[in-house]
Amino acid sequence: MKKILPFFSYLFHPIFIPILGTLFYIVYSSGLYSKEQYFLLLFQVIIITFFLPLSFFYLLRTFGKVDSIMLSDASQRKIPLLMQIALTIILISKSVTIERFPELYYFFLGGIVSTVIAFILIYFKIKASVHMIALSALSFFVIGISMHNELNIIYSIAMLFLLSGLVASSRLAMKAHSVNELVIGYISGMIPQMILWYFWL
């Protein structure tokens, strides 16, 4: 089992969560937009939240600023986290705007708040789990969608909680985080999403 668990850390790396959140939104948004509009939305999210951060990561690795995509050293997290905040701000100001995609807008806004929390915690020598931040944010966003659209998607929600447990176990097995860091990360992802429910539910 210990050999299998690390797989979940890579499969559900935080860099994939914005794409997964967008896919959940598209699947459960009751066809508010055309297929072309959804395709354009997904394409923009993939470019800004996946390919650009990946390019920056390899640039940082070239200059010796990071050594792994897992960012195991807390000091290496500052630049990637700031970059993520900047790119997400660009995304919600230019593409996923509150006028066009309000639910998804608040998901990404919550992600910015959670990332800021993770960044601030670094200065208190706390390495909050970004994996847990991402998965808890996604889980509670999907719960919000289910309530907003009055959908019974209990199996999807249960699957996300199961995956959160598997990824948490994976991070422990890899000795990447302590239990406290996992809990702090999960709460840091959950609370902003729940607070922002007030604005779109």
Number of other residues whose CB lies within 10 A of the CB of residue 4: 11
For position 72, what pLDDT does the model report?
63
Residue 14's nearest CA partner among 89, 87, 91, 81 is: 81
Tokens of 20: 């997964």
Q: Helix or strand or coil: residue 67? A: coil
- Between CA 12 and CA 161 the distance in angstroms is 13
Burial of 152 (0-12, 13-18, 19+ CB in 10 A): exposed
How far lies 115's CA from each of 27, 92, 104, 150, in Å? Answer: 26, 15, 17, 29
For position 65, what pLDDT does the model report?
74
Sign for the pseudo-dihedral over CA of 98, 104, 42, 117: positive
How far lies 17's CA from each of 11, 14, 138, 153, 160, in Å? Answer: 10, 5, 7, 19, 11
**Global model pTM greater than 0.85:** yes
- Between CA 170 and CA 5 the distance in angstroms is 5
69-95 pLDDT per residue, tens: 656 666 778 889 999 999 999 999 999
What is the full per-residue pLDDT of the chain (201 aa) written as tens digits? 666 877 888 889 999 999 999 999 999 986 778 889 999 999 999 999 999 999 988 888 887 777 766 566 667 788 899 999 999 999 999 999 999 999 999 999 999 999 999 999 999 989 999 999 999 999 999 999 999 999 999 999 999 999 999 999 999 988 888 999 999 999 999 999 999 999 998
